[in-house]
């Protein structure tokens, strides 16, 4: 059954080159660096110091803040440094560097959680360190406790994976379908949810077939085939496409009775409840024009990017640009020594032809950016307000509602750097609000 069509969006190239590449593993790295900023919300504070011995699954960072999630060691070894280090977002953040011993001894705290009610379930999910694995990185346990008065009756599973190149979630569908169904059942049971819908783009027929087989055995679960249109996997777009419900501006999925989970996230829930092993590894897609052997790789969190690319045969020639994430919303990397983090779903390496950023020219006011904006904004006016540093204009044209999907930049014939300017605009608004 096909889902609904949301307003706007763009047809991007699929380039799912690694769709048929079964997940491969990696050797244990000699050193890992784990940043204390790996999710939306408050950063963690290190709970270990230089010289400490750590084991797999041990908490090495945590926070008392509501919007946060603990961070665990993915290896056993010795802490060699704690302090500011270069992170994937280009800033220096407090990180924990661990020299591995190769033993992968598991910490004694790693045991299956005992769960008897919703509160214990939410507590277990927090202890697991789970954040949204589709890219956003929002702490998952917060979704499990909707605000008072909000009835959640629909679990929406995001298997759209609409960005070019990325196939990590697709491989989850193919390789771990029973963990997916088990995770769904666990969430539904503890949250008292009545219906589940899994949204999958129609360019993934094999995933649809696999998921349909498990859905046929559960009358609560339905599959919605979605048109391959970016940004189909964005939360508000996905909810509308799969349920017909519209999340108003400034509101959350819980306001329309929904909770949204990435398909790999819900699969992880099943594995965690069974083993007690927290989030210490991630499947990522490694691809791009200069990657020697594009692959899907299971990587320990904290592994340097250089080692991941080496696992895929290295580069055919020196890369011009490295992107963590997809080409639409990913972040360009300054160094191959930055690390894989929880919400890394892809590493892409391009030559100059594909990686070079075109020069801007003057806006011709064609309106294409307005046509494709899924949030019904006026990108050209927001861009003008950024250039003029007009806080009034930025608020008037709702820069904070932008989801930074990049659809406007993709279609702009003048090659305006719209998304980059919107990020600057959000910074201007936040700075002004902080002054007040």
State the CATH number of the domain containing residue 206: 3.40.50.11540
Q: How far apart are CA 374 and CA 231, in angstroms?
A: 8
Q: What is the mean pLDDT of residues 42-66?
A: 96
Identify the band that residue 288 occupies on the pLDDT scale cut at 50, 70 and 90: very high
Whether residue 152 is found in the same domain as residue 269: yes
Q: What is the mean pLDDT of residues 210-226?
A: 89
Whether residue 268 is found in the same domain as residue 375: no
CA distances from 103 to 54, 99, 281 (A): 11, 12, 16
Identify the band that residue 433 occupies on the pLDDT scale cut at 50, 70 and 90: confident
The three-state secondary structure class of 91 is coil
Q: Write out pLDDT tens, residues 379-416.
A: 999 999 999 999 999 999 999 999 999 999 999 999 99
Identify the band that residue 1 occupies on the pLDDT scale cut at 50, 70 and 90: low
Whether residue 398 is found in the same domain as residue 266: no
- Helix, strand, coil percentages, rounded to 5, for the chain: 30, 20, 50
Q: How far apart are CA 65 and CA 141, in angstroms?
A: 13
Higher pLDDT, 106 or 248: 106
- Please identify, among 225, 240, 275, the residue that sits at the C-terminal boundary of a domain: 275
Position 28 pLDDT exceeds 90: yes
Count of positions (residues) in the chain: 436
Give backbone dihedrals phi and psi of 343, rounded to 5 degrees, phi first.
-100, 15
Whether residue 385 is found in the same domain as residue 267: no
Q: What is the mean pLDDT of residues 64-71?
A: 94
Q: What is the mean pLDDT of residues 359-364?
A: 94
Whether residue 134 is found in the same domain as residue 270: yes
User: Would residue 353 count as lying in a domain?
Assistant: no
Q: How far apart are CA 311 and CA 82, in angstroms?
A: 27
- Please identify, among 246, 275, 304, the residue that sits at the C-terminal boundary of a domain: 275
| Neighbour-count burial for 228-240, b at 16+ CB within 10 Å, e otherwise | bbbbbbbbbbbbb
Task: Give the pLDDT confidence score for residue 5 in this predicted structure.
Answer: 86
Domain count, the chain: 2
User: Would residue 330 count as lying in a domain?
Assistant: no
Q: How far apart are CA 325 and CA 132, in angstroms?
A: 14
Whether residue 141 is found in the same domain as residue 256: yes
| Domain boundaries, position 242 | 118-275
Q: Which residue has the tokens 């044209």?
A: 397
Give the relative orientation of helices 168-175 and 205-215 as an angle to the nearest 10 degrees: 40
Whether residue 125 is found in the same domain as residue 269: yes
Q: Which residue has the tokens 């279609």?
A: 411
Q: Give residue 128's Cα distance to chain centre.
A: 17
Whether residue 161 is found in the same domain as residue 270: yes
Q: Give residue 223's Cα distance to chain centre.
A: 22
- Please identify, among 275, 306, 336, the residue that sits at the C-terminal boundary of a domain: 275
Q: What is the mean pLDDT of the chain?
A: 94
Q: What is the mean pLDDT of residues 200-225?
A: 91
Identify the band that residue 214 occupies on the pLDDT scale cut at 50, 70 and 90: confident
Position 90 pLDDT exceeds 80: yes
Q: Which range is least confidently modeled, 90-104, 177-191, 210-224?
A: 210-224
**18 within 8 A of 167, measured Cβ to Cβ:** yes
User: Would residue 152 count as lying in a domain?
Assistant: yes
Whether residue 227 is found in the same domain as residue 376: no
Higher pLDDT, 351 or 250: 351
User: Would residue 309 count as lying in a domain?
Assistant: no
Parallel, antiparallel, or unpaired for β 221-226 and 195-201?
parallel
User: Would residue 385 count as lying in a domain?
Assistant: yes
Whether residue 415 is found in the same domain as residue 266: no
Position 172 pLDDT exceeds 70: yes
User: Would residue 397 count as lying in a domain?
Assistant: yes
Q: Which range is least confidently modeled, 23-32, 162-171, 311-320, 351-360?
A: 351-360
Whether residue 227 is found in the same domain as residue 372: no
User: Would residue 99 count as lying in a domain?
Assistant: no
Position 307 pLDDT exceeds 90: yes
Q: How far apart are CA 405 and CA 163, in angstroms?
A: 10
User: Would residue 333 count as lying in a domain?
Assistant: no
């Amino acid at each position: 059954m096909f889902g609904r069509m949301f307003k706007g969006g763009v047809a991007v190239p699929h380039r799912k080159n690694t769709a048929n590449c079964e997940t491969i593993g990696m050797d244990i790295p000699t050193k890992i660096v784990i940043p204390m900023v790996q999710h939306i919300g408050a950063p963690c504070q290190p709970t270990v110091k230089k010289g400490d011995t750590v084991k797999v699954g041990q908490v090495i960072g945590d926070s008392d803040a509501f919007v946060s999630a603990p961070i665990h060691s993915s290896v056993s070894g010795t802490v060699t440094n704690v302090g500011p280090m270069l992170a994937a977002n280009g800033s220096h953040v407090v990180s924990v560097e661990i020299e591995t011993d190769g033993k992968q001894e598991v910490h004694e705290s790693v045991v299956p959680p005992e769960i008897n009610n919703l509160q214990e379930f939410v507590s277990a999910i927090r202890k697991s360190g789970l954040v949204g694995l589709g890219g956003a990185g929002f702490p998952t346990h917060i979704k499990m406790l909707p605000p008072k008065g909000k009835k959640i009756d629909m679990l929406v599973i995001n298997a759209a994976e609409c960005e070019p190149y990325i196939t990590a979630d697709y491989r989850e569908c193919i390789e771990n379908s029973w963990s997916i169904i088990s995770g769904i059942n666990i969430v539904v049971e503890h949250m008292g949810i009545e219906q589940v819908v899994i949204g999958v783009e129609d360019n993934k027929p094999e995933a649809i077939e696999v998921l349909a087989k498990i859905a046929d055995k559960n009358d609560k679960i339905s599959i919605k085939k979605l048109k391959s249109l970016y940004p189909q996997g964005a939360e508000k777009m996905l909810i509308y496409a799969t349920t017909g419900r519209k999340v108003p501006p400034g509101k959350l999925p819980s306001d329309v009775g929904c909770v949204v989970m990435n398909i790999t996230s819900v699969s992880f829930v099943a594995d965690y409840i069974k083993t007690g092993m927290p989030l210490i590894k991630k499947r990522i897609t490694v691809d791009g024009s200069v990657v020697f052997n594009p692959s899907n790789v299971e990587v320990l969190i904290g592994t340097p990017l250089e080692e991941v690319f080496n696992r895929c045969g290295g580069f055919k020639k020196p890369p011009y640009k490295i992107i963590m994430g997809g080409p639409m919303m990913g972040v360009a990397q300054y160094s191959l020594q930055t690390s894989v983090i929880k919400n890394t779903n892809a590493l892409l390496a391009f030559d100059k032809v594909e990686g070079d950023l075109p020069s801007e020219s003057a806006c011709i006011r064609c309106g294409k950016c307005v046509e494709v904006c899924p949030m019904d904004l006026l990108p050209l006016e927001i861009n003008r307000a950024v250039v003029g540093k007009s806080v009034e204009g930025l608020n008037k044209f709702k820069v904070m509602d932008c989801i930074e999907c990049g659809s406007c930049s993709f279609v702009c014939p003048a090659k305006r750097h719209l998304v980059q300017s919107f990020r600057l605009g959000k910074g201007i608004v936040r700075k002004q609000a902080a002054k007040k």
